[in-house]
A and B are shown apart, each in its own frame.
Chain A
Amino acid sequence: AQSVSQHNHHVILSEAASLELGCNYSYGGTVNLFWYVQYPGQHLQLLLKYFSGDPLVKGIKGFEAEFIKSKFSFNLRKPSVQWSDTAEYFCAVNARGGYSTLTFGKGTMLLVSP
């Protein structure tokens, strides 16, 4: 069975600070990897996704993530956060075939202070 681990449950940063959120997964086969974001009162939105190819993936709003297969990791990064990045961030994986079941991590609540 797949599992996803997000190391930080709460992160507090000041504006302009750099961000790195950890995500590790456990799965025996080839996976697709996703970061979703949930702004307060809003629904889950896709930040970025990895299916294959270049392991460094760029997403919306200046976010990027790097897939390191040997470490089973897919960490999310942003060089300079803004107050508007305050949200909950979820790492998720599924098996080959983007339509298969998603397994989510517990989420990381990011609070950016102005």
Chain B
Amino acid sequence: EPEVTQTPSHQVTQMGQEVILRCVPISNHLYFYWYRQILGQKVEFLVSFYNNEISEKSEIFDDQFSVERPDGSNFTLKIRSTKLEDSAMYFCASNPGLVNYEQFFGPGTRLTVL
């Protein structure tokens, strides 16, 4: 069964450094998402991406964040200058864009900012 994959599984970085989290959505899916879950808190929406552009973003997704689909398979989230409060589990998801289909989630990348 096709799955969303994410790399790395765990990323440790110093405050102020740039990080890129990578995702490979399910082939033929059209919508892509990033969510995050700070430890002990709920899963929060960051951004959705469709037709090579951002379709929706939350207030969390400020100028330090960016997303890109550099080729036909990868979907990346870049955090330009990490802060301690960016430490969280980041989930990528994809959706086929068909009626009555759910979002399929990847295993997540645990980002630790020191």
Contacts and interface: CB of A to CB of B under 8 A. Distances in A.
B74 interface: no
A104 B31 CA distance: 18
Interface string B9-33: 0000000000000000000001101
B5 to A, nearest CB: 10
A101 B48 contact: yes
Given A98-B102, A105-B42, A107-B42, A42 B97 contact: no
A34 interface: yes
A49 B35 CA distance: 19
Given A44-B91, A99-B95, A34 B107 contact: no
A12 interface: no
Given A43-B108, A101-B56, A51 B100 contact: yes
Given A43-B91, A43-B107, A43-B108, A98 B43 contact: no
A97 B97 CA distance: 8
A106 interface: yes
Interface of B: 30-31, 33, 35, 41-45, 48, 50, 56, 58, 91, 93, 95, 97-108
Interface of A: 34, 36, 42-46, 49, 51-52, 90, 92, 97-107
